Structure 1
């Protein structure tokens, strides 16, 4: 048992967390004459270390996820989802969202395609909630920073929110609030050619370059903000505003995250710094979920596909779900730390 725990800690700290990189980087910067005890030195080290770590993990993860994703093109995914009904369909849709695009704006075209194909509205919304919120990449990166317990807890509550949100939308029978051009689009079944292993590898490589290119600006900005929070903002200040004992911290974090546009990889460095400085666990998770699931640009895109009432109901359901999750984790955070 102790051996298994030691192996787990090694994977978390040295492979995923890359603490060896942090040590080597610190020694290198000190040899260059940089004082790491100063705010600037600490911020620079944080920025370089987190940026390198995230890009390495991101590249490896995108390659692996994209290789898996090559087995689930939209046409095949629609056929799979069409075989299930009720809660099972919502659950499968949420799970399939974990191997699809990394941000909500990329998920919306797939959501529109699934809806046009005649899949139940609740099922497509379960996919739309899950896709940017939960993926294999977020699990691995969260594990590298927050540990296994918090990472798995985040993924589980994200899936629960996706299934519950989609199921509720299905129960409310809101199909009439989908724009007519989506409902009336004719679905065309196309036979998907079976890709060779070489083709899947090429596809995965292309996805790595394309995704890294798209998310790089958000990662740089996210890590820079995280570095500033980590080294320039006093711990007492964060605790007084975002501490777990502050009732308003969860809705504040959720609403602050909505106007931002970033994927999970650009959000985690900010969440990491807030957590280290004393923000409640539930508050941090609410911030991450608000950014990834309800970003303003993605809501603008979604408005083109659904009518205002359905959009408002979707935002309300997800927001309430995020806030409830935040309060629960602030209350029970001691179980995960």
Structure 2
């Protein structure tokens, strides 16, 4: 049996130490270069770019939902290449086993012993394509990786690399051969982004880039503009972003309001919500808003950071009733109503 993988753990960050202008300038420069590298290959999708950056800087995971062909895989791989990180793509299928993801022990007849072969989840960026096609047993193995940032193989703990980010995709229009993600697993995703169709101009740009070789089978790799050490540095800066007590109370008031929608908005909308967001919703807002502040070039959070992220943070944390599904009420409708009802500081 091999020893557990050793991944150096980052030093604790003093969250009370304010960001300096030099640190903020360096962060803005790094984020600008990463964004430019991302846009050099991915046409449009500015909201997805921001969502991926926020998730990465906040040390979270993201769920991307859309029909096929909207550059989810390309966006994930491009972000990984831009920061010179290890990227792994896992195509989820009903017969996928936990060992196919986390790794397993293989017997070596020459040495008469078992050796551990780590699976593809031991990468910095892991794309789980069509995650809802994986069985519940396989998804349970993913929970440990996402939450604990480690895997267990034959009783040995193997820490995952730092940084580590899961980008999962799911197709909302196909239900055959799929498994609904457990609410506990959905809650582990910091953000859920809905990838929309590109505009007509963006779609024309895609054709032009295929014609000139920027996109397509023979496209060149993205030149790395940063490395994983830079990402870890940015994540450390995010944890030092100032969040005023009024903003903290605003976040908790919003999340708690999703649990009492009937009292806040009346029975017309209240009957559509069965379960509101858990405290993980407050944590997600807190972490993501600080990351958004750094992306925007600030060392403090403003209410607009929270409002900008409202759909991405809450759409997968609010459980709608059957009545809402029958009336085709979207989670975004309830979320917008809650934000209008809760006073902004």
TM-score range, shorter chain: under 0.3
- Bigger proportion of residues as helix: 1
More strand by share: 2
TM-score after normalising by structure 2: 0.26
- TM-score (norm: length of structure 1): 0.26
